[in-house]
A and B are shown apart, each in its own frame.
Chain A
Amino acid sequence: GAVVSQHPSWVICKSGTSVKIECRSLDFQATTMFWYRQFPKQSLMLMATSNEGSKATYEQGVEKDKFLINHASLTLSTLTVTSAHPEDSSFYICSAFRGVVGETQYFGPGTRLLVL
C-alpha cells in the first residue's frame, strides 16, 4: 500500500507554455502533499506544502504565481508551471502524507520536465 503516482512521467514543452503535473495517492487519502524540484546532480529542494482544500504554503524564493498548486481532493494535487522557460527544466517530485501519526511521507516517481 501507500503508492503515489505522478503524471506525466516526462514532458517536453515549448518556452512560454504552461505544464500541469498531477500527483495522486492511489490507495490512501493524503492530508498533506509536498512538491520538490531537483536539478541535475543536486539534492531535492522543497517548493511547497499543500493541504487539501487550502492554499499551498510556498518555501522562500519559490514564486507562487509561477508554480500554481491545487489540492482539490484528498487524493490529487496538481502543480502547474506557468509560462515555462528553459530554466524551469527539472525533475519534479511529489510526496504524500496519509495522516497516520509517526508515519513518513511517500514519494512519487517524479516528472521530468524539459522546456525548449
Chain B
Amino acid sequence: DAKTTQPPSMDCAEGRAANLPCNHSTISGNEYVYWYRQIHSQGPQYIIHGLKNNETNEMASLIITEDRKSSTLILPHATLRDTAVYYCIVSRLPGYSSASKIIFGSGTRLSIRP
C-alpha cells in the first residue's frame, strides 16, 4: 500500500477552519484517499474519502491536488469535540466480497484550543 506523510501535530482555534495536509506521492491510479479520526480511547471513525475530485459531506471537505500526490482535509468550523488523531490513508476501493486492508500511519494529533 502507498505510504502517507502527515505532520505529527497541529492546533487550531475553536470556530476556525482546520486544514490537515497529507502527502501521498506514491499513490497509484486505483487507490483512494481516506480520512479517519480517532478520539481518545475510541475506535476510528470514518470521515470522508475521494479519488480525484473534491468531496464534501456533513463532517468535512477533502481537497485532492490534480496530480493526486497530496490532499487536505478541511474541518470548516472546528469545535473542541474535533480534538483527535486524524489519519490519512490510501487504499483500493473495497470490492463486493472483500475489503482492502487499511494500514494506519502515525496520523496528525489535532488540538482545538478554546
Contact = CB atoms under 8 A, between A and B. Distances in A.
Contacts, number: 66
Contacts of B36: 107
Interface stretch (A42-50, A65-73, A80-88): A42-50
B41 to A, nearest CB: 7
Interface string B36-52: 10100111111001000
Could you say which interface size class chain A belongs to? Answer: 20 to 34
Contact of A46 (B34, B103, B105): B103
Contacts of A34: 99, 101-102
A49 B47 CA distance: 22
Nearest to A105: B99
A43 B105 contact: yes
B45 A31 contact: no
Nearest to B45: A107
Contacts of A43: 87, 104-107
B12 to A, nearest CB: 21
Interface in A45-98: 45-46, 49, 51, 91, 93, 95, 97
Contacts of A95: 43-44, 102
Interface residues of B, number: 25
B98 interface: yes
A46 B95 CA distance: 19
Contacts of B34: 104
A2 to B, nearest CB: 9
A99 B103 CA distance: 19
B93 interface: yes
Contacts of B87: 43
Contacts of B46: 104-107
A48 B87 CA distance: 20
A93 B87 CA distance: 16
Contacts of B49: 104
A97 B104 CA distance: 17
Nearest to B105: A43
Most chain B beta-carbon neighbours within 10 Å: one of A102, A105, A106, A109 = A105
A102 B55 CA distance: 15
